[in-house]
Chain A
Amino acid sequence: MTAVIDARGLGKKYRRRWALSDCTLSIPAGRVAGLVGPNGAGKTTLISLATGMLAPTTGTVTVLGEQPASSPAQLAKVGYVAQDTPTYASLSVEDHLRFGAHLNPGWDARLARKRVEQLALDPTKKAGKLSGGQRAQLALTLAIAKRPELLILDEPIASLDPLARREFLQILMESTAEHELSVVMSSHLVADLERVCDYLIVLVDSRVRVDGDVDSLLASHHLLTGPRRDTATLPASQQLITESHTDRQSTFLVRSTEPILDPAWSVAGVDLEDLVLAYMSGASARSQVRQPASAAAQVNR
């Protein structure tokens, strides 16, 4: 299994604040990976490191086996749609296609033209006059038509209305299937990711909280409800993510690869949104009690 993004102890520090710390992850090829976390968790920092827009303070990151943005060949293999989907406001849609053709040896002009036709974009219209959704589609077209192996998208849909969001994801999924792309996409909108992602990374407070295959993550997380009991009585094989208690009842979200055998529990599955929210709120609960960083890191893995 080759990794599209491989990070080892990756960290980035701005003046005094760590935007990302001790990030170790390996995103396998052929997946649509969702990078989720609250605002300010370090999603954009991680993506900027992976696209070579930033240099790491600690650790290393390789993308498709090479240092990001290290050569034209490496750049050609990665399509990147940056946050707010930047385009040249004074250039027309047609000019953007020329731009792509001139700057990318692997440019697929037929594909680009087809996309523009499908989107019903006026080729003579200046990019500055397009709607947010159209601009995002144009940026995606540029990224896909260079025929990359990996597509990285940073909050591409955050600023779009629900309809444009749905369209964008649909086209993204079609292209992914058609061209066998690997995708890494960040968002704080879990519901959107749930529809498209088969791999998940949850980033909270500049750290990776959990990462893995969506199906196996869902299969290994259980919501346990039963008579009130202490967390210390849970078996070692069950890793506690969140807990809540009433006078007589306890509810735990646990991660366990083994089946839950205790008959006192009523066991329920979780969906992706529950899981992500559990990891996010679990982190905030922990940061309140100021658990040492090393212990938090153990919980992560």
Chain B
Amino acid sequence: MTWLAWRQFRAQSIAATATLGALAIVLAATGPHLASLYSSAGLTDCHANCGALAGAFIGQVQHGYSEKVYYLGIALMCLTPAVIGIFWGAPLIAREFEEGTHRLAWNQSVTRTRWAVVKLGLVGLAAIATAGLLSLMVNWWARPIDKAIGYGNSSSPAEFSRITPVIFDGRGVAPLGYAAFAFALGVTAGVVLRRTIPAMAVTLVVFAAVQVFVPTVIRPNIFTPDRLTVPITATTTGLDFRGTRAGLTVVGDYSKPGAWILSDQTITPAGHAFAMPHPPQACLGTGSLQSCFSWLASRHLRQLVTYQPASRFWPLQWTEMAIYLVLAAGLGVICLWQVRRRQVVS
């Protein structure tokens, strides 16, 4: 049975190997250059003033081809699980139903349960291995950039920290879970719908929805977020005005390098969200920024920040991988159950 599963998977495995090979060449050719930029920026054994050094390094990256490779890595990491689900998962059993070949396969001296287990197992493991290899390569390449961003610097926005959504999806071990889940999702859609193209479409839509839902609703709350409260005084440096739909608001300065900021609010002593009076005569109307700051200080405002610190990167990675692997296993059980009870005449 392993022979059949492997033989039917051959074309896809060749395509995957070729893609991984091509990417490996690109990364191997550009990685050393990035690493040399990193060490020449003085970041290898950095103990002081690292933020500024990192800022300079990031600035250099942004001016070279490394930035393009960096984004290519992110894009590949985001797309690969979906591609696996659509092109490996969805046709795995749906195509057999479409072409009627399951009637041939199910009447050899192998029970259909074993047939399904071997197919799911072999291609599922290949999916996980592919995502693992890809993650390993991209992570190795992007490590200098990830570390530099982790120091905190002025050149790159905090959204590029490896714990923040999008980047998180392409780092560490979570992609293994995504690949397993997307694959199982594709197979399940194929077994239920019995048509390859609709199964592909459903796989894409559901997987995309899950990949939006988890980082926005589940991931922030896997661990209780840390809270930071900073009083806003007349001497607070780095005060920033931000326009929102509710009006102009003021944001105090704080520094949490490498953290994932979940919420960032200016609140009044009563605990309500603070918004500038409209029009903001009391502050900006006076003409003097200093008097505006004094006015703000007299409001006794505080800056309330909730965040996941950089140190939670690995706990979050392992937890999320486990969640997705459990989901994948659940879908796998549904597939087997469907194949066992499936009644097929034609």
Contact = CB atoms under 8 A, between A and B. Distances in A.
A105 interface: yes
Interface stretch (A27-35, A86-94, A180-188): A86-94
B7 A75 contact: no
A53 B111 CA distance: 11
Contacts of B224: none
Contact of B106 (A44, A53, A84, A91): A53
A91 B111 contact: no
Given A53-B343, A99-B4, A87 B101 contact: yes
B3 A88 contact: no
A89 B4 CA distance: 14
Given A45-B345, A69-B106, A103-B110, 16 more contacts: A44-B346, A48-B345, A52-B106, A54-B345, A55-B341, A75-B110, A82-B100, A82-B103, A86-B100, A86-B101, A87-B101, A88-B99, A102-B2, A103-B105, A105-B109, A146-B109
A265 B345 CA distance: 47
A106 B108 CA distance: 10
Contacts of B2: 102
Interface string A6-28: 00000000000000000000000
Interface of B: 1-4, 7-8, 99-101, 103-112, 114, 341, 343-346
A86 B99 contact: yes
Nearest to A139: B104
A146 B108 contact: yes
A80 interface: yes
A105 B343 CA distance: 26
A76 B100 contact: no
B110 A72 contact: yes
Interface string A93-116: 001001110111110000000000
Given A72-B111, A75-B110, A103-B4, A87 B344 contact: no
Contact of B108 (A55, A82, A104): A104
Contacts of A104: 108-109
A142 interface: yes
* Residue picked from A78, A95, A103, most chain B C-beta under 10 Å: A103
A88 B344 CA distance: 18
The 3 closest A-B pairs by CB, nearest first: A103-B108, A76-B109, A82-B103
Contacts of A103: 1, 4, 105, 108-110
B1 A102 contact: yes
A176 interface: no
Given A45-B345, A53-B344, A80 B107 contact: yes
Contact of A91 (B7, B100, B341, B345): B7
Interface residues of A, number: 38
Nearest to A80: B107
* Residue picked from B2, B341, B346, most chain A C-beta under 10 Å: B346
Contact of B109 (A54, A55, A72, A88): A72
B99 A89 contact: yes
A83 interface: yes
A145 to B, nearest CB: 11
B107 A82 contact: yes
Contacts of B4: 99, 102-103
Nearest to A83: B346
Nearest to A73: B109
A51 interface: yes
A71 interface: yes
A91 B7 CA distance: 9
Contact of B111 (A71, A89, A143): A71
B111 A69 contact: yes
A45 to B, nearest CB: 7
Contacts of A71: 111
Given A102-B3, A102-B4, A44 B345 contact: yes
Contacts of B112: 69
Nearest to A45: B345
A75 B109 contact: yes
Contacts of B111: 69, 71-72, 75
B189 to A, nearest CB: 22
28 contacts: A44-B346, A45-B345, A53-B344, A55-B341, A69-B106, A69-B112, A72-B109, A72-B110, A75-B108, A75-B110, A76-B109, A79-B107, A80-B107, A82-B100, A82-B103, A83-B346, A86-B100, A86-B101, A86-B103, A87-B104, A88-B104, A91-B7, A98-B7, A102-B1, A102-B4, A103-B1, A103-B110, A104-B108
Given A53-B344, A54-B345, A106-B109, A86 B3 contact: no
Contact of A75 (B3, B107, B341): B107
Contacts of B108: 75, 99-100, 103-104, 146
B118 to A, nearest CB: 11
B104 to A, nearest CB: 5
A100 to B, nearest CB: 7
A91 B223 CA distance: 51
B115 to A, nearest CB: 9
Contacts of B343: 53-55
